[in-house]
Amino acid sequence: MRNKLKLKILAGFMLLLALLIVAGTISIIEFIKLSRSVNSLIEDNYKTIEASRTMLEALERKDSGVLLFLLDQNDDGREIISSADSTFNDAFKIAVNNITETNEGEYLENISRLSNIFSSKVELAVSVQANEGRINFYHSEVYFTFIDVKHAVNELMTLNQNKMYAEASLLREKSYRAIMPGIVAIIGAGFFSLILSFFISRYYVSPLSSLAQAIRKFHPSEKQLSSDLKSDDEIKKIEVEVNHLIARLTK
């Protein structure tokens, strides 16, 4: 019988606490999954997209270097071509070491094949002594291989962009799942607060009010309080003890 009222109130708060712990744990797990997905998205696709952009910029610079040769600015042209080759190769290595998508290796093999053809034709173009010959060779051979290798790099970038967009859609759904437990916890906490308030009123406030009213209406001619609490807790014990006190005083 002891502390039953305390146990009732404690049980209500423990139920509310359990609900918040479960909802909080689910939210934390979902946010951890979301964080890992974001990191995976950056590592798997964004790195290759950036490498593809770098390769495209290097190809543009290399083509500009060839055009400088056509303008008889050979030293500047060779320096730009050499720098562009170095930049392209570094970016290509990054993409090779970050293969994450199906058939991505085949895309890279195609880029490697076409870039080698482009490089060999650039070397032939710059080795032509007559400027008119360089221009004709550029228009008939170099320019088309330049377009081909750019197209191959763009295909690699599109592959990763499409995958990144699909992953972003999944991340949006995961973010909703991570938020839902919090929303459920708020609604559940409000619902259980109402239930808890009802039980506190029913098992604590109402019996105390009844007991106080019975004490206020007690008449010395009576042998006990008019209240008859049905509970079996501390408030009932007070009622019993007050009746015992009345009995001792009226002997």
What residues contact residue 42 under an 8 Å CB cut-off, 6+ apart? none
pTM (2 d.p.): 0.64
Tens-binned pLDDT, residue by residue, of the chain (251 aa) = 445 667 777 777 787 788 778 877 887 887 787 777 777 777 778 899 999 999 999 999 999 999 998 888 888 999 999 999 999 999 999 999 999 888 999 999 999 999 999 999 999 888 876 666 778 888 888 999 999 999 999 999 999 999 888 887 887 777 777 777 778 877 877 887 788 788 788 878 888 888 888 888 888 888 888 887 887 788 888 889 988 988 888 76
Check: CB of residue 68 under 8 Å from CB of residue 77. yes
pLDDT for 3 equals 58
Check: CB of residue 90 under 8 Å from CB of residue 194. no
d(CA 83, CA 81): 5
pLDDT for 205 equals 84
Phi, psi (rounded to 5 degrees) for 177: -65, -30
pLDDT for 110 equals 97
d(CA 105, CA 87): 20
* Rounded percentage of the chain residues whose pLDDT exceeds 70: 95
pLDDT for 1 equals 45
CA proximity to 156, closest of 88, 113, 110, 116: 110
String of b and e for 75-110 (b: at least 16 CB within 10 Å)? eebeebbeebbebbeebbeebbebeebeebeebbeb
pLDDT for 220 equals 81
CA proximity to 64, closest of 50, 90, 88, 84: 84
